[in-house]
Chain A
Amino acid sequence: MLLTLSTTHSPATDLGFLLVKHPDRVHSFELSHGTATVLYPEASEQRCTAALLLEIDPQRLADTRADGQQLNQYVNDRPYAASSLLAAALNRVFRTAARGVSKDRPELAATAIPLSIRVPSLRAKGGLKLAERLFAPLGWTVRGDVLPLDPEFPEWGDSRYVDLTLDGELRLADALNHLYVLLPVLDDAKHYWVAPDEIEKLLRAGEGWLAGHPERALIIRRYLAHSRALAVRADAALAPLEETPADDSVAEGAVAEKAKPLNVRRRAAVLAALAETGATRVLDLGCGGGALLGDLIREKRYTEIVGADVSPKVLEIAERRLRLHRLPDRQRARIKLIQSALTYVDERLRGYDAAVLMEVIEHLDLPRLPALCAAVFGDAKPGAVVVTTPNVEYNVRYETLPEGGHRHDDHRFEWTRAEFAAWCDQVAADYGYTYTLRGVGDEDPEVGPPTQLALFTKTTTEEVPA
């Protein structure tokens, strides 16, 4: 990976003094993941360019398991693209210059000089746009080209790499600190485990420019590898900011923002339906992170609560979130978390008063739904079943949702009110239940409520005598 740094300050060769690297020699440094070289492709009075070339040893990189969620730990862009590895090399090789001190040219070190920096291959998550938002407020003019993924296949479009050029008149030390912080921020994949001492590094390198940077929150979050705890501490250490910073995360779209109150209302609706049934022993099937379980624990009427989910990871999260290990024995005995898959018959789910399938069925491929019905309604046979699922008709009310799009990436289907009712009819007939339908959330006169809820009640009491 490569970075070049040029100046047209006269005499330009003073750059060698500032960087403490003689322009007529090749300087080599052994670093933990490879070799860094500093050399000068040009060095005249008018213009002088220093190049930092970092050759990564992929084997050494692999040995330390330093993959930044790349393709895999063996085939990745780390030998080529600028990243936190380059930033670390920068820090190591130009440490003195970055501190703004110079034995030979102390005044020049404190002076803004014309600088041009080029990074021919920089992975920029957020593209040139984000690079502009990051560097322009600091006084840089940002230029660059986005590299195509493969010129032979133009239909594949652009890659995440940019050939970036920054021009500006800045102190060299500031320039180096900007790069040290912002190259990894653009790359957004640290090559090392981010420990609390990263906060100090960030504050040191960000001194004088980070506190007032409009993208401060994003810089902190990405620099600290999205660790919320570290970001809060770093933010507190900086001066307070009036504006709320913009959010760059695309994944948490507007739907999630709007749905937040809907989540709460949905849980309330489910709890109300459960309360109507008079159930005391209940199943939360597809309990996820345990939001509903938390509500259930708080209600004394529920003497036995079972949360079931197919994902062991999610169950761990639920266990932590519900602080099960801290509950007193008698409370702890009320709740149980188990791994289960609703397309299989699970004997452990038999004999409960009620079961909840809250926003679960739409995560199953439609052809597998009969297996779920057979397992839940046909085998577990709870006295009542509460099912909620999105009402797809309402999707037109979500402005950010593309037409025909689902509310969640993993939704395999979303039903209209008529489709849901038809399914309820079938289930009720096949397994001996009756049901009532109700809406959750604000009812739209045209497209109905955002969420639909069905409460099933078993009709045939017991067909198997002892």
Chain B
Amino acid sequence: MTYPIALPELSLVVLVGISGSGKSTFAREHFLPTQVLSSDAFRGLLADDENDQAATKDAFEVLHLVAAKRLAAGRLTVVDATNVQSHARAALVAVAKAHDVLPVAVVIDTPEAVCWERTQARPDRTFGREVLRRQHRDLRHSLNKLAREGFRKVYVVSDPADVELRYEKLFNDRTELTGPFDLVGDVHGCRAELEQLLSALGWELTRDESGRAVDASHPDGRTAVFVGDLVDRGPDSPGVLRLVINMIAAGRALCVSGNHENKLLRHLRGRKVQLTHGLAETVAQLETDPVDGLPAFLDGLISHYVLDGGKLVVAHAGLKEAYHGRASGRVRSFAMYGDTTGETDEFGLPVRYPWALEYRGRAMVVYGHTPTVTPEWVNNTICLDTGCVFGGKLTALRYPERELVEVEAAQEYYEPARPLQPAAPPDRAAGALRLSEVTGRRHVQTLHGTVTVPAEHSAAALEVMSRFAVDPRWLLWLPPTMAPSSTSAVDGYLEHPAEALADLRHAGVHRVICEEKHMGSRAVVLVCKDASVAAKRFVDDGSTGVIYTRTGRAFFDPERTELLLAKVRDAATAAGLWAELDTDWLLLDCELLPWSAKAQTLIHQYAAVGASGRAVLPAALDVLSAAAARGLDTAAQHERLTGSLRDVRAFTDAYRRYVAPTDGITGITLAPFAVLAAEGASFAEADHGWHLSIADRLVEADPATFTPTRRLVLDLPPRSVPTDRADATDATDALAAEPGGASGTAGADAVFADAVARATQWWLELTGSGGEGMVVKPYAGLSVRGAKGLVQPGVKCRGREYLRIIYGPSYTEPAQLAKLRQRKLGRKRALALREHGLGLAALDTIGRDGPLWRVHELVFAILASESEPTDPRL
């Protein structure tokens, strides 16, 4: 008869059997080779000989370590060793317990004689029969001890060839349920409020003859999940129980066990428990109003559930990540009582470790147990107990919407032992960030793949971040570096619109926006409606926001910062943005003008180059002219240096254009070009038409503080012949083509040529009147995907004169230009995309009101990426 074995999906399977019993064969047949840890194999690894008994101690040490790592990662593990002695098994049970995994013993009980036969047949086994007999003796002694040793299941297999093995899920594993869910906080017998709350959530109630709800269903097929503590203290615990039991029976609800359910069950089972904390009320109510099947219901309650593919975990008192989906006494205890220290506070209530502060898991954890005034997200966890029975509120969380729905308690039903505390968001307190979460070699997950940050880059960024950047709680995002367009072959130009458009067309973008590139300093502005918003959401230091550079440094001292913030705030108010965007703070991406406001030191260095050039070149030309007058041939040199002088003057003109007087914040303007985020919203998906329309309204509200951004929207036809040609080909073709002369198969190319012609004309006008250049962006927004993944958020195309500041006064000289055209853009592009991906992830996290540590991890990674050596001229 086939012997059935049922294993929990995550368990430590300990094979027990004497040498030659067929354990390895059994393991090979039923498990993956990587799941099986064989003591023989470890001896072999360490001593080159599977039978070297001297290596046994080391072999088991390593085996236990590997087992521990596998179990920590949630992987089923099988130990193939004789395990006939209890000390050997005890060590394995300890490993399983340390990781809250169920240990299972599978005894392979092959007759000793058969084993001896097999042993003799193996040339590498040299031990005598007495060894086997001793093992067999030990095994016989072990058989009835296994359950007591801590094995949750024991199987004794007499015919290993005839076993049917299947896996069973843990009770807490309901990952197959994807919701949507309505998660309900601690009810504590407040039936009326629960009915109201369910109605508010859109549930339809079925009532009994006395008008009490006995069942509920949701027209959208939602599932209710109760976080426990249905009973005690409140007026109608039986009513609540009846409703929930029926909803669960109908498959429309789940409920985890609260500590109050646990205590009630013990009472019902006749254990001696004190009738305190509201249990007496429940017991009295149940006497007059008994609930059918109550003990069975309470007994069947699971202490936590893992839902929606592992993305949602529900436990009464919360659960740390290492315990998700695990089963042990301490997991159950944590789930029902929290991470208690064993102490009590001055109100006689247990003191708990703030496990949520240290929580870094991906799964959302929803719980109750500790009443607070308002639910606050703490590292992607939330407590829904808002003290309904104490006269507070009954709260539900809609999942996946992350919306809170609440109803007020009709009255205070029970006096709280201590007053409800308004829960400050502790994960945003000063000193909430940990060094170990930003330093070292880091692999940072984004929506577009993993970004690896080398340890030395993190180390460099740490110094900047901790010594010079603004408080990390303000630092929501950093601008990614931007790659220039592909190098142009157009005579006299290093960058040209034809290439910029071709780059984006090549990436599969069909509509672009060319935005004027302001020559100033990149500035990120985070402005709050007032100081109280700043204190609540960001930093409580009396300020109302920050204005920081691309490396996170404050632009101005606090006083000037506040002056400029006040202007931004007033403009946002005048433009009606607070209401329209439903927020009390805004994150804006801007250019701060003029350049000289922040870059005075740098500009002086440029000026010095100009000054020395303008001093020496005329003198040199005088020398050459005088020599020529003496009949010497200096014509070529004279022409060359005349050119150099012209270049130096052009260079001087180039930087002079970006210099303007400022005094305090007088003379300083902001050119906003993107609204990055607001409370509970990221605008990465909004198109640039929208972003600039907001910017325009700020300009309209305060033209003295805001500078408008000129723009040109162009449609690019898809590439007519998709080939793997180099990026440059499109651009060259476009310039060669007759603009507007579309016909036949060349239609698309002609349309593209027309777009290039329009962009070029616009760009020449812009740069001809002193502009730095333009940035060409995919019109659809910040987060655009093409065939090859994420598309660059923008490609810069800088003006011919401006580039003198970057490449030197005489870079346009043909020989120099030829050399500069060999510039390599690959590294810069890759870096720009990596930083952009990190930035998008940061915005996404902010949009979901995600935890500070996660935002900081991403922003830190952007700063660290900037340590990568790249050509500074790109």
Smallest Cβ-Cβ distance to A369: which chain B residue: B430
Question: Given the complex, which residues of A lie within 8 Å of B806, measured CB to CB?
Answer: 74-75
Partner of B637, one of A37, A42, A368, A379: A37
Q: How far is the CB of B824 from chain A (nearest CB, A)?
A: 15
A310 to B872, CA, bound (A): 26
Question: Given the complex, which residues of A lie within 8 Å of B620, measured CB to CB?
Answer: 2, 51, 53, 120
Interface string of B518-554 (1 = CB under 8 A from A): 0000000000000000000001010000000000000
Q: Is B612 within 8 A of A80, CB to CB?
A: yes
Question: Given the complex, which residues of A lie within 8 Å of B435, measured CB to CB?
Answer: 340-341, 344-347
Q: Count A-B pairs with CB separation below 8 Å.
A: 189
Chain B residues in contact with chain A, CB under 8 A?
341-343, 429-436, 438-439, 456, 459-460, 462-463, 465-467, 471-472, 539, 541, 602, 604-613, 615-617, 619-620, 622-627, 630-634, 637, 640-641, 644, 648, 652, 656, 659, 805-810, 816, 819, 872-873
A-B contact pairs, 23 of them (CB 8 A): A2-B619, A40-B632, A41-B624, A51-B620, A74-B806, A75-B808, A77-B608, A77-B609, A79-B644, A81-B612, A120-B615, A121-B619, A156-B607, A310-B467, A312-B463, A339-B439, A339-B459, A342-B466, A347-B434, A363-B467, A370-B431, A373-B430, A464-B341
Question: Given the complex, which residues of A lie within 8 Å of B607, measured CB to CB?
Answer: 149-150, 153, 156, 159
Question: Given the complex, which residues of A lie within 8 Å of B630, measured CB to CB?
Answer: 24, 40-43
A149 to B614, CA, bound (A): 10
Q: How far is the CB of A42 from chain B (nearest CB, A)?
A: 6
Partner of B612, one of A39, A77, A379: A77
A26 to B628, CA, bound (A): 10
With A161-B608, A367-B539 known to touch, is A59 a contact of B807 (CB < 8 Å)? no
Smallest Cβ-Cβ distance to B466: which chain A residue: A341
With A41-B630, A72-B872, A339-B462 known to touch, is A156 a contact of B612 (CB < 8 Å)? no
Q: Is B431 within 8 A of A465, CB to CB?
A: no
A45 to B472, CA, bound (A): 75
Smallest Cβ-Cβ distance to A339: which chain B residue: B459
With A77-B613, A148-B611 known to touch, is A374 a contact of B429 (CB < 8 Å)? yes
Q: How far is the CB of A401 from chain B (nearest CB, A)?
A: 21
Question: Given the complex, which residues of B lie within 8 Å of A339, measured CB to CB?
Answer: 439, 459, 462
Q: How far is the CB of A245 from chain B (nearest CB, A)?
A: 29
Interface membership of A280, Cβ < 8 A: no
Q: Is A41 within 8 A of B436, CB to CB?
A: no
With A26-B634, A153-B659 known to touch, is A147 a contact of B341 (CB < 8 Å)? no
Smallest Cβ-Cβ distance to A118: which chain B residue: B619
Q: How far is the CB of A140 from chain B (nearest CB, A)?
A: 20
Interface membership of A10, Cβ < 8 A: no
Chain A residues in contact with chain B, CB under 8 A?
1-2, 4, 24-26, 37, 39-43, 51, 53, 55, 58-59, 70-72, 74-77, 79-81, 118, 120-121, 123, 147-150, 152-153, 156, 159-161, 163, 310-312, 339-347, 363-364, 367-368, 370-375, 378-379, 464-465
Q: How far is the CB of A463 from chain B (nearest CB, A)?
A: 8
A265 to B791, CA, bound (A): 60
Smallest Cβ-Cβ distance to A23: which chain B residue: B630
Question: Given the complex, which residues of B lie within 8 Å of A51, measured CB to CB?
Answer: 620, 623, 627
Question: Given the complex, which residues of B lie within 8 Å of A311, measured CB to CB?
Answer: 463
Question: Given the complex, which residues of B lie within 8 Å of A75, measured CB to CB?
Answer: 606, 609, 805-809
Question: Given the complex, which residues of A lie within 8 Å of B462, measured CB to CB?
Answer: 310, 339, 341
Question: Given the complex, which residues of B lie within 8 Å of A77, measured CB to CB?
Answer: 608-609, 612-613
Q: How far is the CB of B469 from chain A (nearest CB, A)?
A: 9
What are the 9 tightest A-B residue pairs by CB atom distance, in nearest-first order? A374-B431, A41-B626, A341-B466, A121-B616, A344-B435, A120-B619, A80-B612, A370-B430, A81-B612
A459 to B632, CA, bound (A): 90
Partner of A367, one of B541, B616, B873: B541
Q: Is B623 within 8 A of A152, CB to CB?
A: no
Q: Is B623 within 8 A of A163, CB to CB?
A: no
A464 to B644, CA, bound (A): 74
A312 to B429, CA, bound (A): 27
Partner of B623, one of A4, A55, A72: A4
Smallest Cβ-Cβ distance to A150: which chain B residue: B607
Partner of A40, one of B341, B611, B627: B627
Q: Is A71 within 8 A of B430, CB to CB?
A: no
A2 to B626, CA, bound (A): 15
Question: Given the complex, which residues of B lie within 8 Å of A41, measured CB to CB?
Answer: 622-627, 630
Question: Given the complex, which residues of B lie within 8 Å of A368, measured CB to CB?
Answer: 466, 471
Smallest Cβ-Cβ distance to B632: which chain A residue: A26
Question: Given the complex, which residues of A lie within 8 Å of B463, measured CB to CB?
Answer: 310-312, 341
A386 to B465, CA, bound (A): 25
Question: Given the complex, which residues of A lie within 8 Å of B430, measured CB to CB?
Answer: 370-371, 373-374
With A74-B873, A81-B616, A163-B615 known to touch, is A373 a contact of B431 (CB < 8 Å)? yes
With A150-B652, A341-B435 known to touch, is A80 a contact of B617 (CB < 8 Å)? yes
Smallest Cβ-Cβ distance to A4: which chain B residue: B623
A319 to B648, CA, bound (A): 47
Partner of A80, one of B342, B616, B626, B872: B616
A71 to B726, CA, bound (A): 35
Q: Is A80 within 8 A of B808, CB to CB?
A: no
Q: Is B615 within 8 A of A80, CB to CB?
A: yes
